[in-house]
Amino acid sequence: MLAASRARASYWEDSESRGQRRPTSGFSSVGFMEMMDGFKVGGGPAKGSEADNTRISRFRCDVEQLRAHLTETRRGFINPRSVYQAYWDGITTLALAYTATVTPFEVGLGLETKLNVLFYVNTAINIIFVMDIIWQFFLPVPDKEGNLVRSHYKIACKYLRGWFAMDLFTVLPFDSLQLMGALPTDGACGDSTGMLLKAVRIVRVARLLKLLRVLRASRIVTRWQSQLNLSSTTQSLFTAWFAFIILVHWLACLWALMPQLQNSWRDEPLVIAALEERVLRDPTCDACLCAGDRASEACSSPCLTPCEIEVAANVTHSNEAHVHMMESWMCRASTDGLLPSDFVDKPYTVWLSALMVALMAMLGGTSVVYPTNDYEYSFFMVIFIIAAFAFAWVQGVIISALTTGNPDAIAFRTNLDALNYMMDDQFFPPALKSRVREFYLRTRTMAKRQRYIDLIDSTLSAQLRHDTKVTITAGIFKAVWWLQQCEHAFLEELSMQLERESFAADEYIKSLTFDGEARMYIIVSGIASRGGAFFTSGMSWGDIILASPLLRDTRPAKTLGYCEVVSLTRSGLEKVVKAFPASAGEIRLAGLKLATRRSILLISSYIKYKKTKKASTAAEGETGGMTADEGGLLSV
């Protein structure tokens, strides 16, 4: 029955969060209200009456109708807060990480498409994103007011107008189409017009558009934002560094892709004709030429052979050094010994070299591999522009984290500087300056806690304010003996009445407020003495449970060092205890015990006093030479 009540309450909250009105038909709340009226304080429903049985039956009927209504309204939808959605978000996050790292490496380094482990993993990743597209049609999304939309038609319309086109394009199976021959994979031989080569380049660039999948991460982060136990500063730093690393990786892969996109001397018709003529005259000339549909061995490397460089220089009326510089950066690096001659078969080595170039470009420097042709100059200019903004953004995030990442530390340093300036301006003596600074430095923790309270009061709702303050002050009453038998809910409410204070060494902590109200103190940190007794962390004093002021011990305590305390006034106690009769009875009983002990001690002290001092006047006989307050104590 309790579970059913909770389910009903959960439904009301869910309905209100969606901006829906509570159902007014289908079931009645009369049975529930009557059922609640039938409960006794501290027990269940009254037993044995026919009316009670009727109320129970009507309540059960209401619960069953409510369950049916909940099932109907949530049928066909995926709960965005369910554990299944969390698991699916984790799977898609791993798939996005794979796409952001492996896909640009695969395309940029020109890895051959064939049936291997990489192909099957890519296919599995593609299937995950296809399933995610279907998943989106059943996932309630928030509207402009933040309420979840629970209509298949509205969800579909919103998705089709938004992310659907991009999501659909990124799942096109380029790998499978290339493997089946539907898309070109090589434009070397039999491509007299160069159209096949252009098609190959377009396919390679199109495969990079899979990186648009990374934009899906924004939807996942939106769902996870309330669950991430990270400060905004930490999230900003993580985002900046992650984006910087991914950007360097992408630029390195693009730099490795450049040789595949730029034209080669082998693609020039005049050079091809000159090479064919040269091979006929000089059989020792090693050149990349097609014999029918077969390519020569020189075509296994994208770099020009010495014979090809010589022929290209003669055709273009330039020197061989210029022709060599117009080659791709990989060929130049291979000639200079920076890459192995078989670098085509070593993509990881090529990626490391490209990564160094991209990193140096991002940091504003140059590597041993530098641009020498129009394609590379254009690419480097784009890199420098992107790097300028990216690096400035990362620097801004880091500076912001250092300056605003810890608001408590910033406020503490600002106030310390203000205190130092004030003491210098007012010519404080050095000893007093030292005491002020020592006290302020010791109050850092308390000031931070106090700012937490101010922050809670200004930002949270009433219930959240209560819950957070209770969490902060949990366990504060463990050492107060007369509160040990009180209700937990009472202690939670009582903790809302606490006030924090701090005292420097050799200061007095008064047991009464300025208007004479009794106060109880609990030491949070430090040590104090009172009446020959020492009080350390967790210990308390203050007779706020005694109704008679004459029975209270109002002696002040003296701090033996820096002390942080929390205090509770008698009025704060009375304000809360009214709503908790059981706790009020425990406190009254504790107060009676304490008052009895105090009365016995006072009477004993009075008898001892009478034995040691003779009465001199009639008035002294009535009061025993005591003060008016001491005489009043006897009357108690």
Whole-number Å distance between alpha carbons of 450 and 473:
12
DSSP-assigned states of every residue in 205-237:
HHHHGGGGGGGGHHHHHHHHTTT----HHHHHH
Q: 10-24, 36-50, 376-390, 483-497: which has the minimum mean pLDDT?
A: 10-24
More confident of the two residues 429 and 217: 429
303 DSSP 8-state letter: S
- pLDDT higher than 60, residue 198: no
Number of other CB atoms surrounding residue 106 within 10 Å:
20
Q: 4-18, 198-212, 591-605: which has the minimum mean pLDDT?
A: 4-18
More confident of the two residues 615 and 260: 260
- Rounded mean pLDDT, 265-271: 81
Q: 223 with 209: CB under 8 angstroms?
A: no
More confident of the two residues 41 and 554: 554
Q: What is the pLDDT of residue 352?
A: 92
- pLDDT higher than 60, residue 61: yes
Q: What is the pLDDT of residue 70?
A: 64
- pLDDT higher than 70, residue 1: no
At CB < 8 A and 24+ separation, what contacts does 5-12 make?
Answer: 7/63, 7/66, 7/67, 7/70, 8/32, 8/63, 8/66, 11/66, 11/69, 11/70
Q: 595 with 543: CB under 8 angstroms?
A: no
Q: What is the pLDDT of residue 184?
A: 57
CA dihedral 205, 210, 215, 220 (to 10 degrees): -170
Using pLDDT thresholds of 50, 70 and 90, give the confidence band for residue 615: low
Whole-number Å distance between alpha carbons of 144 and 460:
22
Q: 402-411, 433-442, 580-589: which has the minimum mean pLDDT?
A: 402-411
- pLDDT higher than 60, residue 207: yes
- pLDDT higher than 60, residue 16: no
- pLDDT higher than 50, residue 236: yes
Residue 223 Cα distances to 86, 173, 226, 464, angstroms? 9, 29, 7, 21
The pTM of the full predicted model, rounded to 2 decimals, is 0.61
The β-bridge relationship of strands 499-503 and 294-295 is: unpaired
Which residues touch 191 (CB under 8 Å, ≥6 apart)?
197
- pLDDT higher than 80, residue 33: no
Q: 212 with 172: CB under 8 angstroms?
A: no
Q: What is the pLDDT of residue 195?
A: 55
Whole-number Å distance between alpha carbons of 570 and 549:
11
Whole-number Å distance between alpha carbons of 176 and 11:
48
Q: 556 with 542: CB under 8 angstroms?
A: no
- pLDDT higher than 50, residue 209: yes
More confident of the two residues 611 and 315: 315
Q: Burial code of 578-601, b = ≥16 C-beta within 10 A, e = fewer?
A: eebeebbebbeebbeebbeebbee
Using pLDDT thresholds of 50, 70 and 90, give the confidence band for residue 38: very low
Whole-number Å distance between alpha carbons of 384 and 381:
5
Q: What is the pLDDT of residue 631?
A: 46
Using pLDDT thresholds of 50, 70 and 90, give the confidence band for residue 183: low
Whole-number Å distance between alpha carbons of 538 and 516:
25
Q: What is the pLDDT of residue 473?
A: 74
Counting Cα atoms < 13 Å in the Cβ hemisphere of 78 gives 17
Number of other CB atoms surrounding residue 279 within 10 Å:
17
Type and span of the H or E element at 142: strand 141-142
Crossing angle for the helix pair 581-612 and 570-577, nearest 10 degrees? 140
Q: What is the pLDDT of residue 7?
A: 42
- Rounded mean pLDDT, 43-65: 69
Q: What is the pLDDT of residue 529?
A: 92
Q: What is the pLDDT of residue 182?
A: 61
Q: What is the pLDDT of residue 521?
A: 92
- pLDDT higher than 60, residue 630: no
Which of 85-89, 184-188, 421-425, 606-610 ranks highest by mean pLDDT? 421-425
- pLDDT higher than 50, residue 617: no
Give the residue among 228, 242, 232 at the shortest CA–CA distance from 400: 232
- pLDDT higher than 70, residue 225: no
Whole-number Å distance between alpha carbons of 99 and 78:
26
Give the residue among 189, 182, 184 at the shortest CA–CA distance from 201: 184
- pLDDT higher than 60, residue 357: yes
Residue 620 Cα distances to 61, 297, 552, 606, 608, angstroms? 80, 128, 24, 13, 15
Whole-number Å distance between alpha carbons of 94 and 88:
10
Q: 500 with 566: CB under 8 angstroms?
A: yes
More confident of the two residues 457 and 202: 457
DSSP-assigned states of every residue in 442-490:
HTHHHHHHHHHHHHHHHHS-HHHHHHHHHHHTTTTTTT-GGGTTS-HHH
Q: What is the pLDDT of residue 557?
A: 92
- Rounded mean pLDDT, 201-215: 69
- pLDDT higher than 80, residue 622: no
Q: What is the pLDDT of residue 26?
A: 39
Instruction: State whether residue 290 is helix, strand or coil.
Output: strand
Q: What is the pLDDT of residues 518-543, one digit of tens each?
A: 899 999 888 999 988 899 888 888 88
Q: What is the pLDDT of residues 114-162, one digit of tens each?
A: 888 888 998 898 898 889 888 888 888 777 766 777 787 888 888 888 8
Whole-number Å distance between alpha carbons of 201 and 603:
105
Q: 90-94, 144-148, 393-397, 453-457: which has the minimum mean pLDDT?
A: 144-148
Take residue 110 and report the two structure tokens written for it: 């020109």
Give me the helices (H) in 137-231, please.
152-161, 164-169, 174-180, 195-208, 217-224
- pLDDT higher than 50, residue 398: yes
More confident of the two residues 409 and 243: 243
Whole-number Å distance between alpha carbons of 459 and 455:
6
Q: What is the pLDDT of residue 422?
A: 92
Instruction: State whether residue 499 is helix, strand or coil.
Output: strand
